[in-house]
Structure 1
Amino acid sequence: MMRVESTISGTVSVILPCYNVAPYLDQCLESLVRQTWESLEIICINDGSTDGTSAVLHSWAARDRRIRVVDRENGGQASARNVGMDMASGEYIAFADPDDYVEHSMYGRLMEEICTHDADVVACGYTSFSDENGSVLEELSRSPGFGVEKEARSSFFHADSVWMKMDVVTCNKLYKKEFLNKCGVRFEPSFRRGEDDVFWLMVLPYAGCLVVVPDRLYWYRRKRQGTVSHAWEEQGCPYSLDMARLEYVTACWEQIGWLDTAVSRGWLAHIMKRYLLSHVTSGEEIFQKLDKQESQALVQRCRKWLHGMETGADPVGLNKWDRAFCRLLRTEPVKANPVAEIYNRLMSACSGRRGRYYRLKSLMSSLS
C-alpha cells in the first residue's frame, strides 16, 4: 500500500450513513480501507436497513479495526450523519455515501491541502457515473479550478467564488472538526432529502479559509433507481423543497446576525435565484403548473418570506426582472380592471421574462 510522504498528521473520521445498500458496500469500503492516508476511522451508521447491510458492515468491522458500526432505527440520512459527527474522534471529518466510492489518494490529497493552508474546509472534484452501465456522465461531473479563499465570510458573491467552485455536495469535502464544533452546525433532520445544500449554506457564514482542488477524487453514482438524486435528474427538484430550504437558511442567517451581510454581499440574491426565482422567472413557470389552491398557497408563502426579507434595500445581485418579479409576489393580489386585464393578456404573448412576468401578473389578478 502506498503511503503519503508528508510531515502532516491527523486522523480523518469518515462518516458513512447506510440504508439498504448491501450490494454497494464492498466497493465503497474497499476504497476507504485502502486509502494512502491510513490514519482513518470509518463510522458506519446502519440506519434501520432491512436488507443485508448490517451483516456486510459487521463483516468488514471484523476485518479492519478502523471500522465502527452503529445499528439504529431509521431516522434519515441527516440524523445518521449527525450521530457520526458526535462519535467522531478524528481531527478531521469527511462524509461518504455508501453507494459511491473514492480514489485511494483522496484523503491524503485533501489532508495535504487543508494542512498546508490551515483551511476550515477543502473540496475536490468528482466523477459521476451511471449505475445502469458504469459509464462516466461528464455533464454531471465536476473539475473545478484550483482556488484558495482566505476569508470566505467577508467575500462578495460572484460566479467564480471559491465556495461556489466547491459545490454544495457534502461528500467531496474534508472539514476541520474544530471548525465544525466551533460553529455548532449540524445536518437538519427535518430535511429528509436535499440536506446537503442547507448544511453548506449554514457553514459558510462561519468559514475562514476555504480551498478547492481540481482533482476528481470522488466517484458519485447516479441514475440509481429509487434514489432522490435520480428522481431530481428526471423531474427536477420540487419547488416546495427549495422554498423550505430558502426559508430555513435565511431564518438561521437572521438568528446569527448574518442576514444583513448576506444582503449586502450578494449571498442572499444567489440563493433567491437558486431556490425561488429559478421556479418563478424561468421557463418552468411553476405557477402555471399548479391549480388555484396550490397557487394561492405558494403566493402566500412567497409573500410572507419576501416581507420578512425587507431590510430597506434590495439584495445586491438581483437584476431588474428579478426585482420586478419579487415586487409582484410581495404585493397583495388585486383584481385588474378590464383595460388592465386586456393589456396583461396582450403582454403575456411576449417572449422571455417579459411574457412570463405578465402571465404571472394575470394569474395573480385571478387569485384575488
Structure 2
Amino acid sequence: MITIVIPAFNVGQYLESCLESILNQTYQNFEIILIDDGSTDNTSRICDTYSQRDTRIKVIHQSNAGVSAARMRGFQVASGEYLISVDADDWIEHNMLEKMYKLAKAEKADLVFCDYDKVYSDRKEVISNQLSDLSSIGYLKAQFYGGMWGTFWNKLIRTSLMRENKIYPIVGLQMWEDFAVTNRWVIYAHKIAYCKEVLYHYNQCNLGAVTKVISENNYLDIRKSVDAVLAEIKKVGIECQLENEIVRIKLTAKKYLLNDPYRNFRQWAKVYPETNRFASSVQITRAKKVICKTLAEGNFNKAEYLYHYYSFEQRVMKCLNKIPLLGKFVNTILNIIAGVN
C-alpha cells in the first residue's frame, strides 16, 4: 500500500483537483492523509467532505504550524509500505502511483523519482531528472550541482527507510524543507530507481504558495537545510566522495547574501569561510566573479562600491544596447573608472 500525505493550507481553489487526480488512479491500494494546517478558507470543509466520501481518506485538523510540521504529522501516522507527499495545489497523472510502485517493486528500490512539469498560465516547462549514475553519491552530486530538485512530490520512498534512519521534516522550515529530508533519505537508500515520464504537475499559478513568498527567514532556512544534509553526510563518512560538491552547495546556500533583500557582504565572508576562495570561479557573470574575488580578499568597502557600480552599469548598458559602438565605449570608460580590468 502507498500512503499519500497532503499538507493543506488555504488551498480550497485547488484541493479538489488534486484529490480527484489521486482518486482516479489506476492503482487504488492507497491511503490519503490530509493535514488541514489551520486553514481559514473552505479547505477544511473540502477535506471533511472527501473523507466522508472515501474511507481511505483520513483528515487531521491542526492549528497552523507550517508545512514542515504538517508533513511531519502525516509521516508519523503513515501506514503504507511506500510513501509520497503531494502538494495540495498540484495534481498527478492518472497512472503515477502504478508506474512508481511497479518500478519500486521491480527494482527493489528504496526511492523512486520521476520527471515533472511546471505548469504556468500560458505554458508548461518539462523538467527531466535523468541521471547517468543512480547511486546515492551520483544523485547527491547532481543535487548539489543544481541538476536535481530536492522535492518530496516526485519521489516514492520506502517508509521503513524514513523510520529506520529517523529522517523526518525539520519542523519550522518553510524554504528548502524538502531538500533537508529527501537528500538525507538518499544517503541511506541502497537502490534508487528513475521513471523517465512526466507524472507530476507542479502548479506555478498559485501566487500564495510558500515558495513564492519572500521572507527574511528564507536565507536562514536554506542554511539550516544544507547544514542538516551536510551533518548526515559527515555522520556516514562520505565527505571525501563529495568534496567539490560540498563546496558548491555551501556557496549556493550563502549566495543569497550577495543580493538584495539579504545582501550582507561581511556575513557572506563569515559563512562557510573555507569556500570563499572558490566563490569567483563558480559565478556566471563577470560582476559576481569580481565581487566574490574582492570579498575573498576581505575588501568589503570595495565590494560595496563594485555592487553599486555594476548595478549602475547594467542600467546604463540597457539603454545603450541599441547603439553597440557607443555602448562598448561607455563600458570601457566605466571599467576604467571602477578600476576593473
Shift of 1:272: 3.3
Deviation at 1:121, TM superposition (A): 1.3
Could you say which residue in structure 1 is the equivalent of 2:45? Answer: 55
Cα distance between partner residues in 2 of 1:66 and 1:120: 24
- Report the TM-score when normalising by structure 1: 0.70
Taking only the aligned residue pairs, the percentage that are identical comes to 22
Tell me how far 1:305 sits from its aligned partner.
2.0
| Runs (5+) with no aligned partner, structure 2 | 318-330
Q: Aligned in 2, Cα 1:194/1:249: closer, same or farther, shift over 3 Å?
A: closer
Distance 1:77-1:113 versus aligned 2 partners, 3 A rule: same
Please give the root-mean-square deviation of Cα atoms over the aligned residues, in Å: 4.0
Residue type matched to 2:174 in 1? Answer: R
In structure 1, what residue type is equivalent to 2:127? R
Q: Per the alignment, do residues 82 and 251 of structure 1 end up closer, same or farther by CA in structure 2, a change over 3 Å counting?
A: closer
**Aligned equivalent of 1:157:** 141
Superposition deviation, residue 199 in structure 1 = 2.4
2:55 matched to which residue of 1? 65
d(CA) in 2 for partners of 1:31, 1:86 = 24
- Of the candidates 246, 262, 270, which is equivalent to residue 223 of structure 2? 246
Match of 2:5 in 1: 15
C-alpha distance after superposition, 1:310-332 (max 9, x if no partner): 9xx969x9589999866654555
Whole-Å Cα distance in 2 between the matches of residues 154 and 97 of structure 1? 27
The verdict on how the C-alpha distance between 1:308 and 1:186 changes in structure 2, with shifts beyond 3 A counting, is farther
Match of 1:138 among 124, 130, 145: 124
Distance in 1, Cα, partners of 2:4 & 2:33: 6
Q: Is the 8 A contact 1:269 1:318 kept in 2?
A: no
Q: 1:227 aligns with which of 209, 215, 230?
A: 209
Could you tell me which runs of 5 or more consecutive residues in structure 1 were left unpaired when the two chains were aligned.
Answer: 1-10, 232-236, 281-285, 363-368
Q: Distance in 1 between matches of 2:51 and 2:193?
A: 33
Query: How many pairs were matched up?
Result: 310
Q: Evaluate the alpha carbon distance shift between residue 151 and residue 219 of structure 1 in structure 2; reply closer, same or farther with a 3 A threshold.
A: closer
Partner of 1:269: 247
Specify the alignment match of 1:111 in structure 2: 101
SS in 2 for 1:70: strand
Q: CA deviation at 1:89?
A: 0.4
Name the SS of the counterpart of 1:21 in structure 2.
coil
1:194 aligns with 2:176: yes
Task: Give, as a single letter, the amino acid of the residue that structure 2 aligns with 1:69.
Answer: V
Of 153, 164, 185 in structure 2, the residue corresponding to residue 171 of structure 1 is 153
Equivalent position SS for 1:36: coil
CA distance in 1, matches of 2:215, 2:297: 24
| SS of residue in 1 equivalent to 2:271 | helix
Query: CA shift at 1:266, angstroms?
Result: 2.9
- The CA deviation string for residues 3-37 of structure 1, in whole angstroms up to 9 with x for no partner, is xxxxxxxx100001111222322221111122111
1: distance between equivalents of 2:61 and 2:217?
A: 32
Aligned to 1:302: 268
For 2:70, the aligned partner's letter is A
